[in-house]
Structure 1
Amino acid sequence: MARAGLGWSAADLGAKAGLARETVTRYESGSTIAPSTIKAMRGALEAAGADFLQISDKVGVAVPGAFQQ
């Protein structure tokens, strides 16, 4: 969600997090990856302005951008 909301490709996120594109796609397809890898991806997304939210049992993300109706 966050990556797409920022308009990033898997390669973009990998580059910004210091990871290979394949690592990003493995994670997105449901493979288990190291917690440090998740932290690196989250850090890159947050640095770009993504805010991760948890309300009760729901998780979401907000990204900067113009809201259009």
Structure 2
Amino acid sequence: MARAALGWGVLDLAREAAVSTQTIVRFERGEALKQPTFNRICLAFKAAGIEFIPENGGGLGVRLARRLESK
């Protein structure tokens, strides 16, 4: 959901998180990642403006914490 909100593809997230595209594919399949790798992905999303929101009866989610600026 976070990638879609940003309009990012797998390559974009891999570049921003400094991980391989295969790591992103494994992550999105639900495979376990090493904690430092998971942290890099989360930090890349947060730097891009994604906010992770807690479960509130409907499940975990994400939202844009700030508007994206046009480039």
- After TM superposition, list the pairs within 5 Å mapping 1:1-69 onto structure 2: 1-56=1-56, 58-63=59-64, 64-65=66-67
Q: Match of 1:52, SS?
A: strand
Q: Which runs of 5+ in 1 are unaligned?
A: none
CA RMSD of aligned residues (A): 1.7
Q: d(CA) in 2 for partners of 1:32 and 1:46?
A: 20
Moved over 6 A (4+): none
| Percent identity (aligned) | 33
How many pairs are equivalent? 66
TM-score, length-scaled by structure 2: 0.82
